[in-house]
């Protein structure tokens, strides 16, 4: 594969309609490696939901930028994040969501850490009953922390530790959601789609452009294309639709909506008057990702089990329709026809172009991270 500069050179050309990112941005291992070292390490990446960490000692493993991490609730009821690696032989400590009690114990040699990451036990490390040999300082061998930010129910990490403070970074999204009373936002259901056979960027791009809606979702939504418009504000991009008559049932969706993405992977859909959906999009490689969606009510209302199941069924169908398109986009990138990135609508997909420009600038403007970038 040609170097990154030559791959992106055709993306920056001024031809109209503009072309999208070249195919290698979605299929190349080299490009994926660079994304990990730039896009996914240098920005605030969404990694989980606060409400899933219910009790002190709850731990959830997650992989970001090929790095194994863990999220946990500590003894103060706060959310923390650490590299999911024992300081002894570098084994991953937690392999599934669980409650670890007061200590995270390595299954290999029983080194144990408290919920603040401090090393509490290194049994027989210096010989039988010699737990702390000369020259070994437990205080220097705790878990490596990761910079974490909690915004309402959503957990973000910044792996290189150099991103702006989260409130500054997310200011365009926060402004776009002005007027929402987050104290009334309550999760009512989760859809876990597992792995999806597509590059993570296709899922993001699909969400933020309205062009496909009436063609891909003719039976699950009723939002005419002409009523849509796009939204671009720095690292927050997306689209919206304003309708005079709104219907939100378990059979179809026809409501005023805001489809907002915070670069790189956070997605929030606001559906007036009383619902939002937040997506957890975890990039896993050039051609695979994992996705989960949580449904929320926003006005303190109570829905029956039947109403919740109907909404979950509706959104499951909508997502599966989108997944099929994204997986077919991925397959299409195996053809040389896709080498120039295809064309983008100057009207309906300018938000996609803005997202792709953020990707391109991140990858082209940075060099690979080194081992010294590990935060902590």
Place of tokens 């391109």: 360
DSSP for 224-259, please give it: -GGGEEEEEETTEEEEEE--SS-EE-SS-EES-EEE
Q: Where are the chain's structural domains? A: 4-40+172-364, 45-151
pTM of the model: 0.92
Contact status, residue 281 vs residue 46, Cβ threshold 8 Å: yes
Superfamily for 4-40+172-364? Naphthalene 1,2-dioxygenase Alpha Subunit; Chain A, domain 1 (3.90.380.10)
- The two three-digit tokens of residue 248, written as one number: 């939100």
CA distance 298 to 304: 15
User: Is 95:118 a contact under the CB 8 Å cutoff?
Assistant: no
Per-residue pLDDT tens digits of the chain, which is 376 residues long: 456 776 677 787 767 788 899 999 999 999 999 999 999 999 999 999 999 999 999 999 999 999 999 999 999 999 999 999 999 999 999 999 999 999 999 999 999 999 999 999 999 787 888 778 888 888 889 999 999 999 999 999 999 999 999 999 999 999 999 989 999 999 999 999 999 999 999 999 999 999 998 888 877 777 778 789 999 999 999 999 888 765 554 455 678 899 999 999 999 999 988 899 999 999 999 999 999 999 999 988 889 999 999 999 999 999 999 999 999 999 999 999 999 899 999 999 999 999 999 999 999 876 443 333 444 4
**What's the topology of domain 45-151?**
Rieske Iron-sulfur Protein (2.102.10)
C-alpha angle 169-175-178 in degrees, rounded to nearest 5: 140
Rg for the chain, CA atoms, rounded: 22
């Amino acid at each position: 594969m040609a170097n990154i500069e030559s791959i992106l050179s055709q993306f920056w050309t001024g031809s109209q309609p503009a072309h999208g990112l070249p195919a290698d941005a979605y299929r190349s291992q080299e490009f994926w490696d660079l994304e990990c070292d730039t896009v996914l390490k240098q920005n605030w990446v969404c990694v989980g939901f606060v409400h899933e960490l219910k009790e002190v000692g709850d731990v959830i493993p997650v992989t970001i930028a090929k790095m194994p991490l863990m999220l946990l609730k500590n003894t103060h009821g706060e959310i923390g994040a650490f590299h999911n690696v024992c300081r002894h032989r570098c084994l991953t400590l937690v392999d599934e969501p669980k409650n670890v009690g007061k200590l995270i114990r390595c299954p290999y040699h029983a080194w144990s850490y408290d919920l603040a990451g401090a090393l509490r036990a290194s049994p027989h490390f210096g010989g039988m009953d010699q737990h702390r040999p000369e020259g070994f300082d437990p205080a220097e061998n705790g878990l490596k922390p990761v910079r974490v930010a909690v915004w309402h129910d959503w957990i973000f990490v910044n792996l290189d530790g150099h991103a702006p403070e989260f409130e500054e970074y997310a200011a365009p999204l926060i402004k776009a959601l002005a007027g929402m009373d987050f104290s009334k936002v309550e999760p009512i259901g989760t859809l876990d789609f597992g792995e999806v056979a597509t590059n993570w960027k296709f899922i993001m791009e699909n969400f933020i452009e309205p062009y496909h809606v009436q063609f891909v979702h003719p039976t699950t939504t009723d939002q005419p294309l002409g009523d849509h418009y796009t939204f671009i504000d720095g690292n927050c991009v997306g689209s919206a639709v304003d309708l005079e008559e709104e219907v939100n049932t378990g059979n179809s969706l026809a409501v005023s909506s805001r489809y907002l993405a915070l670069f790189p992977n956070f997605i929030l859909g606001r559906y007036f008057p009383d619902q939002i959906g937040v997506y957890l999009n975890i990039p896993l490689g050039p051609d695979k990702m994992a996705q989960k969606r949580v449904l929320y009510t926003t006005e303190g209302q109570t829905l029956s089990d039947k109403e919740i199941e109907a909404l979950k069924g509706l959104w499951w169908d909508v997502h599966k329709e989108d997944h099929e398109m994204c997986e077919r986009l991925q397959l299409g990138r195996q053809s040389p026809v896709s080498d120039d990135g295809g064309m983008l609508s100057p009207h309906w997909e300018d938000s996609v172009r803005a997202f792709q420009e953020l990707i391109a600038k991140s990858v082209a403007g940075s060099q690979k991270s080194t081992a010294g970038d590990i935060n902590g």
